Structure 1
């Protein structure tokens, strides 16, 4: 079988530690080209993976005959570069958040549809074993009616792991557009939509810049969300959890409570109303700290979607619905009013 020819545009930390590693581990893939505005960074990845280095993504897209590309660029470039790649006839895996506005997201989806290409957004939380197991419990009725939830994603901030440290684009509003809510909050919005199997209808949010100096992007946010069926819960996203990362979710149901990634040993704990407690060791969640899972499964799913010509689990449409929750949280915080989710 012919291997997929892929390129990676953007050679920062997410590309270096996730995309390159996972593409290289997939037997159906050949890394052909890499691109980064920092020439040394592009050259390093090109040498490591036997690819050609570029510093201009437009030249890469014009020159190389690729099947697919990963877009691992600052947020403001996600939509324009994805659209260029789709129009060049390539499948696209774009990092989250997929865009900085609904209009950009819609244009990405349109470009994918017009060119008959896959567009997948890198929301990796759906592939975490504890999250998939929890979804099975919810769908089977094991948990009964869902009443509420609490989901959190926080760490000490991108300066600890970004390729550029404190000088990273993450802290520049014109490039990032959004801070912790785009970096972390959108992951949890996507996860809760996936687990609950329904959309959010309302959001009230406080989105603040309180932990980091010299930046105007958000670094601490708490949202109250309500689904179409009336499930209410909270979502927190923060770059202020300095001592330890928190990537936990708790779901409160009629028959049981599900604790996901809330215990150092057991990735899923089910506490039944009968008093029974069942602990599951299902493997770690991906993390910027040591000891996390070694693969996010995102790349393998993207490759499989192309080879088997099937819709990716996190399509452009799915990515946009998760983005809309975050955009409405921003609107709520700015207006100090409840925002109705537009999707």
Structure 2
């Protein structure tokens, strides 16, 4: 079988730590090109992977040499580049948040449909073993009715992780559109929807800039969320957890409490009301600290969906629903009112 010809657009940290190495590891993929407006960076990455370098994504997509692309650019370019790619007859794996507005997210979904191409959003939290196990336990009734939850995603901020440090686009509102809530919070809205198996319908939020005086985007946000069946809980997203990353989720149910990625040794701890405690060692969640050593499974799932012509596990529609919660949180913070999603 002929290999899938893939290019990566945007050669920053997420491309270098995740997309490029994961495509390279994939036996069904031939990495053919990389693209970035920073000429020095794109040439360096291209020579490292032995592929062609482009500084214009239009030129790359017009070349007709690729079947699929990863879009790893600043947030404001996700939708425009994805739409051009889909309209060029190319499958798209897009980083999160998929877009900066409902309209642009819808345009991506439409373009995928119109051209019969795959669109997947890189929400890797769904593929973490502890998260999949929790979803299963909830689905088969082992936790009983869910009453509440709290989830957090925080680390010291992108300046320690982005290729451009403090000068990164992450801190510029016109390019990032949203800070910690878009970087981390959207992962957690997607995760909650996935684990609980229901939609979030109302949001109340404080979205603040308290820690990074060199940027103009949010770096600390706390939201109260309500699902369609009435489960209420909190979500915190922060770039101000300075000593250790927190990526934990706790689900409070009628028959048990699930602690996900909360205990340093056990990725899932189930505390039953009977007093029984079950600890699962399910492998570590990927973090920015592991130097990209682990597999996020995003690329592999995207490639499988193309090869087997199946629905991508995080479709444009799924990405849209997770983005909608974040947009409602922004609106809530601005208006000081609870917002419908």
TM-score (norm 1): 0.98
Q: Is the 8 A contact 1:284 1:292 kept in 2?
A: no
Number of the residue aligned with 2:7:
7
Q: Is the 8 A contact 1:328 1:340 kept in 2?
A: yes
2:46 is the counterpart of 1:35? no
1:287-302 aligned within 5 A: 287-290=287-290, 294-302=294-302
What runs of 5+ residues in structure 1 fail to find an aligned partner? none
CA distance in 1: counterparts of 2:290 and 2:304, whole angstroms? 28
CA distance in 1: counterparts of 2:209 and 2:94, whole angstroms? 26
Number of the residue aligned with 1:25:
25
Specify the SS of the correspondent of 1:271. strand
Number of the residue aligned with 2:206:
206
Give 1:40 shift.
Answer: 1.9
1:145–1:292 distance in 2 versus 1, CA, 3 Å: farther
1:1-343 aligned within 5 A: 1-290=1-290, 294-341=294-341
Give 1:293 shift.
Answer: 6.3
TM-score (norm 2): 0.99
Specify the SS of the correspondent of 2:246. coil
Q: Is the 8 A contact 1:151 1:234 kept in 2?
A: yes
Q: Is the 8 A contact 1:285 1:292 kept in 2?
A: no
CA distance in 1: counterparts of 2:51 and 2:170, whole angstroms? 27
| Per-residue CA distance 1:77-123 (angstroms, 9 max, x = gap) | 00000000000000000000000000000000000000000000000
Give 1:65 shift.
Answer: 2.0
CA distance in 2: counterparts of 1:293 and 1:13, whole angstroms? 13
Specify the SS of the correspondent of 1:142. coil
Q: Is the 8 A contact 2:18 2:292 kept in 1?
A: no
Q: Is the 8 A contact 2:120 2:312 kept in 1?
A: yes
Give 1:318 shift.
Answer: 0.3
CA distance in 2: counterparts of 1:14 and 1:103, whole angstroms? 25
Q: Is the 8 A contact 1:287 1:293 kept in 2?
A: no
Q: Is the 8 A contact 1:283 1:293 kept in 2?
A: no
CA distance in 2: counterparts of 1:153 and 1:115, whole angstroms? 35
| Per-residue CA distance 1:303-338 (angstroms, 9 max, x = gap) | 000001011110000000000000000000000000
Specify the SS of the correspondent of 2:290. coil
CA distance in 2: counterparts of 1:71 and 1:210, whole angstroms? 30
CA distance in 1: counterparts of 2:41 and 2:8, whole angstroms? 12
CA distance in 2: counterparts of 1:216 and 1:27, whole angstroms? 42
1:304–1:254 distance in 2 versus 1, CA, 3 Å: same
The RMSD of aligned alpha carbons is 0.9
